[in-house]
Structure 1
Amino acid sequence: MKALRIRRRPVASTAGWPIELHPLLARVYAARGLVPADLARLRLTELAAPHSLGGLDRACERLAQAIDANRRICIVGDFDCDGATGTAVAVRGLRLLGARNVGYRVPHRAREGYGLSAALVESLASDPPDLIVTVDNGIASHAGVAAARERGIGVIVTDHHLPGATLPAADAIVNPNVEGDAFPSKALAGVGVVFYLLLALRAHLRERGWFAAGGKQAPLADSRDRADRTNAEPDLATLLDLVALGTVADLVPLDANNRILVAAGLKRIRAGQCCAGIAALYRAASRDRTRAVAADLGYALGPRVNAAGRLEDMSLGIECLLADDEARAGELAAQLSAINAQRQELQSAMVEQGEAMVAQFLARHRDDDLPFGIVLHEPNWHPGVVGLVASKLKERLHRPVVACAPTESDALELRGSARSIPGFHLRDALAEVDARCPGLIVRFGGHAMAAGMTLPAANLARFAAEFDAVARQRIDAQALERFAWSDGELGAGDFTPAAAQALRYAGPWGQGFAEPLFDNEFAVESWRVVGERHLKLRLRGDGHAQALDAILFDALDCMPPPGRLRALFQLDLNEWNGRESLQLLLKQIEPA
């Protein structure tokens, strides 16, 4: 494959930034289009107001009635980290708001499929709830909603995925991506949507005099004595650690609103105000939660929670996030870590197979002949891990990838998971394939950068051809160039622990608000292999009085390194024996 090219961000003026702000951080912020006033907006008081999110009034009315009458509420979640944290937020939040009969269900991949399906509703028939609230799913659950309503079960859909041509006939739908919705942040994750529902529900209950200090004591819907129904107004900010985890793990763009939510959640984690489950996951990942950053959530905690849904039962992850007992949370976190280790082994083998397929193709064709949209399949792949395979190959090939595996219940049906590159909207592409070839795909859903689908195994070759054709129409060939953005060179005086510290706790960094990377030339003073496949180096830049420690992970293709190189790197702090020192996390090296 072609080498990753480095593109430097345009230099932006840093005039007007506060003098107490580290100048390197001002440079990075300005390059991302921020202005000084934006620093003051990274506070909870600056969150977009809930009232502009459509469907909340009806959803709050239905939930208030259910809470007031002590109806059974069932949260139907999803089997990824966004769905797990969203389920935990919904259960915890509704209990804080007075619901005394709330539980949850996560569909079984093989028996019930994704989201609120008719099969899942059928599984609830022996002890049906009065109200179902979906989290991170439901916008495409026409059959499931209809099945619930036939049984007299109310349904509130909370979701963030893009809707199809029609909406399910739910009692209420809360989704910022429904056409015409005025909510300014379309990037909310599923956990963010349900958090907003809870904020609106608290305000609704406050207006009804539900809380002891709620002002006017308006009567409730039923006539039972309200003496045992009043309580102090709960602090929903206690849920923000879970909101932050789900938002980062789902790779939604960190727009201003999501950065506020994630920053507030990280602040609570660092202050020791997180739930027992998140604290246990930090311990299981051998990470210090007092130094919590978004990367911990995306690369350490999120994968552990996700692993339960990919290989086992996501209820394990949800129970960890609902646990209040530290010992129980620790046991569950340890189980999640063990499952995640199995997932890593399985993923590694599947990625190797995928790369081998691509290598075999390139051995027979030119590099430029690689499909614009790549579809891969192996009969022994696990359907719960194909999304990770697609993600890894997308990063290495820099083009949309769909990875497919047989469903757990039927080898004649495939489950595909897709990941995309900027500028290619996956769900829209799948909708075009579906419009071109009705019946080719059984069902599909998702958003711009990630999507999923089910299709008959017999349709795979035709689907691959149609997907590539759509990709060729929608993607300019230049957009397939593999590149990474750099924030430019650093001067010798910028290589300091203080600069690394300032960058570490700024942001929060993530999807759509990339962590700062820089590129410089260095002389290699020494190098050695660690852990069989990683490079540990000592580098000296021009004008540097001292050499710098650096590490490059998964560096088999870079051994031995050139004597003088250009590196794309991140300023980092390495903690060892209680001491912090500057370290460069190398992303790529090439001869200078």
Structure 2
Amino acid sequence: MPALLRRIYASRGAHDITAAQPKLAQLLPPDTLSNIDAATELLADAIASGERILVVGDFDCDGATACAVAVRGLRMLGARDVVHAVPNRVTHGYGLSPALVETLAPLSPALLVTVDHGIACHAGIAAARALGWRVLVTDHHLPGDVLPPADAIVNPNLPGDAFPSKVLAGVGVIFYVLMALRARLRVQGDARATDADLGSLLDLVAVGTVADLVPLDANNRALVSAGLRRLRARRGCAGLHALIEIAGREAARLTAADIGFAIGPRINAAGRLEDMAIGIECLLSDDGVHARGLADTLHRINAERRAVQQSMLDDAEAAVAAQVPVDPAGAGVCLFDADWHPGVVGLVASKMKDTLHRPVIAFAPAEPGSPQLRGSARSIPGLHIRDVLAAVDVAHPGLIERFGGHAMAAGLSLQHDRLAAFTAAFAAAVERMLDPALLRAEILTDGPLRGEEFDIAHAAHLRDAGPWGQGFPEPLFDGEFAVVDWRVVGSRHLKLTLRLDGHARPLSAIHFGGWREIAPAARERLVYRLAPDDYRGGDAVQLVVEHREPLPTA
């Protein structure tokens, strides 16, 4: 291991190879999860009785992969009658709603299992139980003050839960439930449980975990690393390999970044613009030809999503330029357009949060012409966005119809005629709860690279040393360079030829989206990643620029 990598690992709290690259043998056991025994008893009884189990997913990548893991895993463990469903964003809204329960009533399950949602679905769970269904909630979102009336709830964020890691994704929670179920069935002497290889589901666990942007603590890194190994060895499910191929990625060198920027968005696109049932079907398919056809559909939907997103971003940037002061003194920002699509507001909020370095909520009509708005919130480090929404809800009862989420992302719904009141209440809550010092954007780097470290060996080590992600960030470096040459690539990207002081060899760099119709300065300070240059191949490397600042000339 090169000294550079040892230094990077240590700065992230990993001082030996065991901590830096945790293995499956180091996974936390499931027995400290609250209600895990009650959950596995519900599932084991349904399997033993041959009863119908209905898995209800969510319309994002975490929810889709969690649904696929639940269906595949339960069948692997002997369940003979497993069906699945997912809400339609426009028709049913988020999670297990009474409207969704009404739609699912003809399926008549004995047991309904939620994955990646349910902790805030009080009315839907009550409706399901009124039909005589048992309900198991598996979720990772933060609970409210009152828990829903489910038969059992498994969520590492429940009050008093002793599970050491609180950052499992929804797909991680259901995977843990399946591990505990397999252990229970093995004790009962079930031969199918003895032979069940739940490790075959880790490709899906990895994709859902990375796509949901949960922190990659040691436990999550062990899960993601194992899933990436399966995908690199082409032992993943047919749907994921079809998506890898259509995204133009090389399976043998797949990274967490490839999941985050290429695979996850294609799955997410189905839930944003159409029906996540397409994405789940792709992940459940074992037929390569069928999976490729579904991947083609997801690829097309994602291209449409990108066009819609760019149009909405243009609108948002124009609105901000016209209405938001340069320094709003800590106020949160709310954006709304009657023509926006509710499935893409989260992406708009995320982009504008990065641009403004302010917490942002983007709203759109729940459906065209609807008086109900769907909002998606994104926050900056140091401000727990769900806590902000909870504070608004306490101070202004009834203003928000429903909300839920995490520290950095949340969702909510309210009526259009309440938007102005909410905007004021949100800004006031943010100003009250946010330290103004946090409004100054910072980029944390791993410092400069030495001249001899700009080589393919170090670039390959950095690429393969992950998985990198939230809480275990991909290495970023900074330094001052002379700009020898530059050109625009496409319409938005900037290709640079650089020189490091004291080193004659020129360096190739690319700044995606970096062309702002202003020529680079003769000398610039850059924040960048070092990566193999797959386009040129061989020993070529390039700097992938994340940020540029001009330096004054002497």
**Aligned mates of 2:17, 2:305 — CA distance in 1:** 44
**Aligned mates of 2:87, 2:130 — CA distance in 1:** 20
Q: Which runs of 5+ in 1 are unaligned?
A: 1-20, 212-229
SS in 2 for 1:519: strand
- Is the 8 Å Cα contact of residues 110 and 409 (structure 1) preserved in structure 2? no
Partner of 2:528: 569
Partner of 2:469: 510
- Is the 8 Å Cα contact of residues 331 and 358 (structure 2) preserved in structure 1? yes
Please show how residues 454-465 of structure 1 align to structure 2 within 5 Å: 454-465=413-424
SS in 1 for 2:516: helix
Partner of 1:543: 502
Partner of 1:525: 484
Q: Which runs of 5+ in 2 are unaligned?
A: none
- Is the 8 Å Cα contact of residues 111 and 409 (structure 1) preserved in structure 2? no
SS in 2 for 1:411: coil
Partner of 1:382: 341
| Equivalences, count | 551
SS in 2 for 1:125: helix
- Is the 8 Å Cα contact of residues 329 and 436 (structure 2) preserved in structure 1? no
Highest RCO, 1 vs 2 (Cα 8 Å, sep ≥ 6): 1
Partner of 2:122: 142
Partner of 1:192: 172
Partner of 1:51: 31
Partner of 2:300: 338
1:166 is the counterpart of 2:146: yes
SS in 2 for 1:35: coil
Q: Name the TM-score, length of structure 1 as normaliser.
A: 0.91
Partner of 1:411: 370
Partner of 1:314: 276
Please show how residues 72-471 of structure 1 align to structure 2 within 5 Å: 72-211=52-191, 230=192, 232-362=194-324, 365=325, 367-369=326-328, 372-408=331-367, 411-471=370-430
Post-superposition offset of 1:232: 5.0
Post-superposition offset of 1:488: 0.5
After superposition, what is the alpha-carbon deviation per residue over 1:342-373, rounded to whole angstroms, capped at 9, x for unaligned?
A: 000000010111111111125xx4x2236521
- Is the 8 Å Cα contact of residues 97 and 234 (structure 1) preserved in structure 2? yes
Question: Partner amino acid for 1:460?
Answer: L
Greater shift, 279-288 or 370-379, is seen at 370-379
**Aligned mates of 2:505, 2:335 — CA distance in 1:** 48
Partner of 1:8: none
**Aligned mates of 1:64, 1:378 — CA distance in 2:** 48
After superposition, what is the alpha-carbon deviation per residue over 1:152-188, rounded to whole angstroms, capped at 9, x for unaligned?
A: 1010000000011111111110000000000011000
Greater shift, 577-586 or 268-277, is seen at 577-586
For the structure 1 residues 437 and 84, does the alpha-carbon distance in structure 2 shift closer, same or farther, using more than 3 Å as the test?
same
Partner of 1:68: 48
Post-superposition offset of 1:272: 1.2
**Aligned mates of 1:97, 1:171 — CA distance in 2:** 21
Post-superposition offset of 1:576: 2.8
**Aligned mates of 2:292, 2:538 — CA distance in 1:** 27
- Is the 8 Å Cα contact of residues 330 and 436 (structure 2) preserved in structure 1? no
SS in 1 for 2:513: coil
**Aligned mates of 1:371, 1:465 — CA distance in 2:** 13
- Is the 8 Å Cα contact of residues 182 and 193 (structure 2) preserved in structure 1? no
Post-superposition offset of 1:559: 2.9
**Aligned mates of 2:291, 2:285 — CA distance in 1:** 6
For the structure 1 residues 41 and 54, does the alpha-carbon distance in structure 2 shift closer, same or farther, using more than 3 Å as the test?
farther
- Is the 8 Å Cα contact of residues 77 and 137 (structure 1) preserved in structure 2? yes
Partner of 2:543: 584
SS in 1 for 2:509: strand
**Aligned mates of 1:532, 1:147 — CA distance in 2:** 53
For the structure 1 residues 325 and 43, does the alpha-carbon distance in structure 2 shift closer, same or farther, using more than 3 Å as the test?
same
SS in 1 for 2:323: helix
For the structure 1 residues 333 and 110, does the alpha-carbon distance in structure 2 shift closer, same or farther, using more than 3 Å as the test?
same
**Aligned mates of 1:105, 1:378 — CA distance in 2:** 31
SS in 1 for 2:525: strand
After superposition, what is the alpha-carbon deviation per residue over 1:533-584, rounded to whole angstroms, capped at 9, x for unaligned?
A: 1111111101223101100111222631111111110001111365352000
SS in 2 for 1:575: coil
**Aligned mates of 2:86, 2:297 — CA distance in 1:** 18
**Aligned mates of 2:425, 2:194 — CA distance in 1:** 58
For the structure 1 residues 40 and 468, does the alpha-carbon distance in structure 2 shift closer, same or farther, using more than 3 Å as the test?
closer
**Aligned mates of 1:511, 1:98 — CA distance in 2:** 36
Runs (4+) off by over 6 Å? none
- Is the 8 Å Cα contact of residues 57 and 117 (structure 2) preserved in structure 1? yes
Q: Name the TM-score, length of structure 2 as normaliser.
A: 0.97
Q: Which of 5, 25, 32 is the matching residue for 2:5?
A: 25
SS in 1 for 2:105: coil
